[in-house]
Structure 1
Amino acid sequence: MSLDKTTGLLKKAREWWTTKIIDIRPGIIRIKGTPIQDLIGNVSYAHMVWLMTRDDQPTPEQAALLEAALVSAVDHGPQAPSIAISRMAVTCGLPLNGAMASAINVLDDVHGGAGEQCLELFNRIARHPAGLSMDDTVTAVLDEYVAEHGKIIPGYGHRFHPVDPRAIRLLALVDAAAKQGVVRGRYADIGRAVEAALAQRASSKLPMNIDGATAVVYGELGFEPAMARGLFILSRSVGILAHAWEQKQQGGRIKGPMPPDIDYTYTGA
């Protein structure tokens, strides 16, 4: 092979993958231009999440708000399908990585996607043409959303919690951050306006849940809706790991979703 052809192939190989995230050479590791040794011990994990997924550095206050959202969604008990799957997977012989992968794979549109869907809804309200009041804008966008997706509004109501304590705390942190000028508070206003509109429609309160509250946080911090799901998965992975590890310590073999002496309902002929 000629030298020119070899040089061309090497150039093509180097250009096959491009990234502005990390620069690695012998003895050098830089994340977005910052040496890794300057980050280790000096920034939080939430700061690193921001740095890896964005093109800017967070302020300490922004990183703290992101961290609060990540902490809020780590776990919701074995009744959550993803958590249950991680525990069942361990009893079927899978190692931790297999149990985590099995659980994360079910975090899709129905179980895991509400935060992304809610932030998409909030963005539609935020982008609505000027001239309408907040209440009229929310009404119009909710009508559009229900016509497209059905009556379930992501981010509101909870099958276990009449009021979601996680949402209350996150909204309080957003309010405090807005007073300090860290965020604008626009998404908090939108979230509360949607909550009020839903209460009028249902003639009963339908409070914001954890998915709605994290959507508020991620919207205030400028994350795209798809990232809201990714960040939720990152957060919930901690709970998945913890439950898989706990089940590994407890032992058990081929545990199904219910004890074997509790039968299912047969509906066939």
Structure 2
Amino acid sequence: MVEAWRTGITTYDEKNIWIRGYEVGALMQRATFAETIFLLHAGRMPSQQEGKLLDAILISSADHGPGSPSAATARLACSGNRGSVSSAIAAGILAIGDQHGGAGMACMETIAEGVALAKTEGVSLEAAAEMLVDAYRARGERLAGMGHRQHSTDPRKAILFGMAESYGLAGDGVRFMLALEAAVAAKVKPLPINIDGVLAAILYDLGFPPIMGRLIFIIGRTAGLSAEVAEELAREKAMRIKVPVTYDGPPPRDLP
């Protein structure tokens, strides 16, 4: 006998669907999409402030132009296979990783490490941040959530951190990331907290596990990828993307 799958997320019968115990029709009429995402992942309905903050995070990560790795990959896949929007969007999602959009997971782990270090060593978050910067430099490792190719200051940081503060939801996660930014500027060079670092700090303070740092970016960016693919189909010809290539291999030669 095959053992049944187990889930604590969603169930249904012939006439009803329940998500985490809430009837889907009630959610459709009284909850937002962001609140439902919170419910799906946290197992509880968020407060009004938590729901607004998660909504803002999803908006902040929705799109960053067609040149971002995920959007460029989605457009390239769509250019060569215009019959499948799902494969193009999936290709864009597959481009999300440690260097693009997925660093929030590693950043949440760093935040947890820093907060724990402050407690075990009996030092401030600022001192713990300096200790971590020294440790990462000694190991030659890069700190996730820091630096941006286009922005000297990520315009989304002040808004999201400001919302978290005004809602009373900013905690050790936000404080540690700000301390880390200052420590990096003093010991290495000025590097802005990027969107991965911002959402990592806030998600940490909301009580989510590290994997949420990657999942939330994927959820938000999927909306932008669908728009990028739709525009590619509407405005561009098939196979229009041509990547300049310079060959620097051996010249033509004969087999021995």
What residue number does 1:93 align with? 81
1:158-203: CA deviations, max 9, x gaps? 111111101121111112122xxxx24221110110000001012x
Q: How far apart are residue 147 of structure 1 and its match?
A: 4.2
1:199 and 2:181 are equivalent in the alignment: no
In structure 2, the residue corresponding to 1:58 is in which secondary structure?
Answer: coil
Tell me, in whole angstroms, the C-alpha distance in 2 between the residues paired with 1:57 and 1:247: 37
Q: Pairwise mapping of residues 52-67 of structure 1 onto structure 2 (< 5 A)?
A: 52-67=40-55
Q: Is the 8 A contact 1:74 1:235 kept in 2?
A: yes
1:168 and 2:149 are equivalent in the alignment: no
Q: How far apart are residue 151 of structure 1 and its match?
A: 4.3
Tell me, in whole angstroms, the C-alpha distance in 1 between the residues paired with 2:137 and 2:240: 39
AA at the equivalent of 2:207: G
What residue number does 1:190 align with? 176
Q: How far apart are residue 251 of structure 1 and its match?
A: 3.0
Tell me, in whole angstroms, the C-alpha distance in 2 between the residues paired with 1:55 and 1:144: 36
**When the two structures are superposed, what TM-score results if normalisation uses the length of structure 2?**
0.91
What residue number does 1:5 align with? none
- Choose from 219, 227, 242 the match for 2:227: 242
1:205-254: CA deviations, max 9, x gaps? 21211111111111111111111101101111111110000111013121
In structure 2, the residue corresponding to 1:47 is in which secondary structure?
Answer: helix
1:220 and 2:211 are equivalent in the alignment: no
1:45 and 2:33 are equivalent in the alignment: yes
Q: How far apart are residue 153 of structure 1 and its match?
A: 1.7
Q: Is the 8 A contact 1:47 1:58 kept in 2?
A: yes
1:145 and 2:118 are equivalent in the alignment: no
Query: Aligned-residue CA RMSD in angstroms?
Result: 1.6
What residue number does 2:238 align with? 253
Tell me, in whole angstroms, the C-alpha distance in 2 between the residues paired with 1:52 and 1:18: 15
Tell me, in whole angstroms, the C-alpha distance in 2 between the residues paired with 1:238 and 1:18: 29
Tell me, in whole angstroms, the C-alpha distance in 2 between the residues paired with 1:31 and 1:238: 22
Tell me, in whole angstroms, the C-alpha distance in 1 between the residues paired with 2:242 and 2:179: 39
Q: Is the 8 A contact 1:84 1:257 kept in 2?
A: no
Q: Is the 8 A contact 1:96 1:244 kept in 2?
A: yes
In structure 2, the residue corresponding to 1:23 is in which secondary structure?
Answer: strand
Bigger CA drift: 130-139 or 154-163?
130-139
1:268 and 2:249 are equivalent in the alignment: yes
1:131 and 2:122 are equivalent in the alignment: yes
Tell me, in whole angstroms, the C-alpha distance in 2 between the residues paired with 1:33 and 1:61: 22
Tell me, in whole angstroms, the C-alpha distance in 1 between the residues paired with 2:242 and 2:64: 16
Q: How far apart are residue 130 of structure 1 and its match?
A: 4.0
* Percent of residue pairs identical: 32
**When the two structures are superposed, what TM-score results if normalisation uses the length of structure 1?**
0.86
Q: How far apart are residue 19 of structure 1 and its match?
A: 1.0
Q: How far apart are residue 145 of structure 1 and its match?
A: 3.2
Instruction: Structure 1: give runs of 5+ residues left out of the alignment.
Output: 1-8
The runs of 4+ residues in structure 1 deviating greater than 4 Å are none
What residue number does 2:95 align with? 106
